[in-house]
Amino acid sequence: MTNDDEPRRSTRRKVTTDATTNETSPPTKKVKRKIKVKRKIAKKTSDDDSISSTESTTKKTPTKKKKTVKSDEESVSSTTSSKSPTKKRAAAKKKTTKKVEPQRITDRDELEKLWDADTALEEKGSYTFKILSWNVAGMRALVRKQPEALAKLAMDHQIDVLCLQESKLQEEHVTDPKLKLKGFVLENEGYDSHWNCCKTKKGYSGTVAFIKKREGNDDAGEKKSKKKQATIGSFFAKNVTSAKSTSTSNDVIGGIDVQNLIPENVSFSIGNEKHDQEGRIICMDFPLFSIVNLYVPNSGQKLERLDYRTEEWDMDLLKFMQNKEKERGVPVIWFGDLNVAHKEYDCWNFGAKHLAKQAGLTQQERDSFQSQLDTNGGDYVDAFRHLYPEAKGHYSYWSQRAGNRAPNKGLRLDYFICSKSLFEYDTDQKVFVRDSYMIPEQEGSDHCPVVLEMEIRK
């Protein structure tokens, strides 16, 4: 490029000089040729620069477009991803809503009332003795949430003996003034109280019995009870005159001797110390019958107590009841949460495969329960099922966790098991079972109360 530039500069100077003097000399052929070559080179360079510039512009433009497109895609992708969880949740919710169906309600057969206490008293002079049993699943919770529940039950149904299971109390709770159990446990309604608390574990098991006061039963159950239990029971003052019940100072109610309505003894054992540590029993001996409030051991979620329950507890309980009936010569009744659904009609989904390994529904528990009833050819009777053999949908327990109460998906775990003689109405004995039923509308626990009505003839 140096050789080409030199004449070019020389020419320009000469031209300029000539222009200044207004005298332009014609260029020589050699100069013309050089100028022509130079112009071609310059033109070519200009064209190359133009092409290069065009190519550069062409290359950059797609790059920008590509970046723009990519940016848009990223924006769309970002927007989509930000909305995606919401859409997924909405879709999942919509899908779930479609699958939810109204729960099938288990029908409860209507039962005919078998006995009328007022009519029996007026026409026959018979007194109707009523026992109410209820697993309250924690008495302190019941006191806090429904402080008037027991009093209302006792008064509305005119209960003579009101028994509870799974009180979950310790002995110190009974006398704790902060818990106000004294005012809650039917003292003002005219009932004596008896407590049996678990001694091996806190907040576990436990039974309670409230017995309507009568003239002369101020110390009922205290003489033969254990000293500690007597102290707990006697904590509540026994003031018959302040009772709001049907207690009377007369020796006769209707045609019945009041002494027949007063327990001769209250005890807290079935004769085996191993079974007596968990507060599961209160035995009340009345002149004409013996009744036993029970909370039968649950076999456990993993059936870890199944063998203990069926091979020890059930067998020892049966022996105790047989001996009690033989020694006293009167009918016996054991009742409460017996922790077994015995027959097909006692379980809303009887036959489901998983039930075979569920506490209260195993074949071992059902067989053990049946063997108690079959003793000596059938000495004992399930009162409700005897009176209503085909009744369906009558349960005493519903899982709260599963929300099974409203659709009536329940189990019948609470019973009155009675001596067969209590159903032999054509005999000259004085006591007969007349009716048994549940009170499913009563809330406050995962169980509902069950009632037994007995006729005591004059």
110 known ligand binder:
no
pLDDT of residue 103 exceeding 80, the answer is: no
453 known ligand binder:
no
Domain check: are 192 and 339 in the same one?
A: yes
Domain check: are 319 and 387 in the same one?
A: yes
250 known ligand binder:
no
pLDDT of residue 432 exceeding 60, the answer is: yes
Q: What is the mean pLDDT of residues 425-438?
A: 96
Domain check: are 16 and 152 in the same one?
A: no
258: domain CATH number is 3.60.10.10
Of 33, 62, 91, which residue constitutes the final position of a domain?
62
Domain check: are 50 and 140 in the same one?
A: no
Residue 104 is assigned to a structural domain of this protein: no
For the question of residue 295 being annotated catalytic, the response is: yes
For residue range 112-139, list pLDDT tens digits in order.
999 999 999 999 999 999 999 999 999 9
Split at pLDDT 50, 70, 90, the class of 26 is: low
Q: What is the rounded distance in angstroms from the CA atom of residue 210 to the CA atom of residue 350?
A: 35
CA-based angle 33:37:40, to the nearest 5? 140
Residue 10 is assigned to a structural domain of this protein: yes
Residue 105 is assigned to a structural domain of this protein: no
Top pLDDT among 325 and 220 is at 325
Domain check: are 254 and 142 in the same one?
A: yes
Residue corresponding to tokens 């006398």: 175
Number of neighbours of residue 372 by Cβ within 10 angstroms: 19
Q: What is the rounded distance in angstroms from the CA atom of residue 452 to the CA atom of residue 448?
A: 14
Split at pLDDT 50, 70, 90, the class of 27 is: low
Give the list of residues 6+ apart from residue 382 with CB closer than 8 angstroms, or none. 342, 373, 415, 416, 417
Residue corresponding to tokens 């406050």: 444
Q: What is the rounded distance in angstroms from the CA atom of residue 194 to the CA atom of residue 161?
A: 11
Number of neighbours of residue 211 by Cβ within 10 angstroms: 28
Domain check: are 124 and 55 in the same one?
A: no
Cβ pair 161, 131 in contact under 8 A? yes
Cβ pair 438, 134 in contact under 8 A? no
For the question of residue 308 being annotated catalytic, the response is: no
Residue-wise burial string across 242-275, b where 16 or more C-beta atoms lie within 10 A, e elsewhere: ebebebeeeeebeebbbbbbbbbbbbbbbeeeeb
Which of 61-65, 229-233, 250-254, 333-337 has the highest average model confidence (pLDDT)?
A: 333-337
pLDDT at 251: 78
For the question of residue 374 being annotated catalytic, the response is: no
Residue 86 is assigned to a structural domain of this protein: no
Residue 111 is assigned to a structural domain of this protein: no
Domain check: are 146 and 11 in the same one?
A: no
CA-based angle 152:168:236, to the nearest 5? 55
Domain check: are 13 and 152 in the same one?
A: no
Top pLDDT among 14 and 238 is at 14
* Marked catalytic residue, from 160, 337, 346, 379: 337
Domain check: are 25 and 131 in the same one?
A: no
Q: What is the dihedral of CA 58, 61, 65, 66, to 10 degrees?
A: 60
* Marked catalytic residue, from 191, 295, 388, 397: 295
Domain check: are 24 and 144 in the same one?
A: no
Q: What is the rounded distance in angstroms from the CA atom of residue 104 to the CA atom of residue 121?
A: 43
Residue 113 is assigned to a structural domain of this protein: no
For residue range 386-405, list pLDDT tens digits in order.
999 999 999 999 999 999 99
Q: Which domain holds residue 10?
A: 2-62
Residue 81 is assigned to a structural domain of this protein: no
Cβ pair 147, 276 in contact under 8 A? no
How many structural domains comprise the chain?
2
Q: Which of 445, 439, 303, 437 is nearest to 361 (CA)?
A: 303
Of 38, 62, 86, which residue constitutes the final position of a domain?
62
Domain check: are 333 and 260 in the same one?
A: yes
339 known ligand binder:
yes
For 147-305, list the strands marked E by DSSP: 161-165, 191-196, 207-212, 252-253, 256-257, 265-267, 281-285, 290-295
The separation between the first and the last C-alpha atoms of the chain, rounded to the nearest angstrom, is 146
For residue range 420-429, list pLDDT tens digits in order.
999 999 989 9
Residue corresponding to tokens 């020589």: 28
For residue range 135-190, list pLDDT tens digits in order.
999 999 998 999 899 999 999 999 999 999 999 999 999 888 888 775 567 988 99
Split at pLDDT 50, 70, 90, the class of 243 is: very low
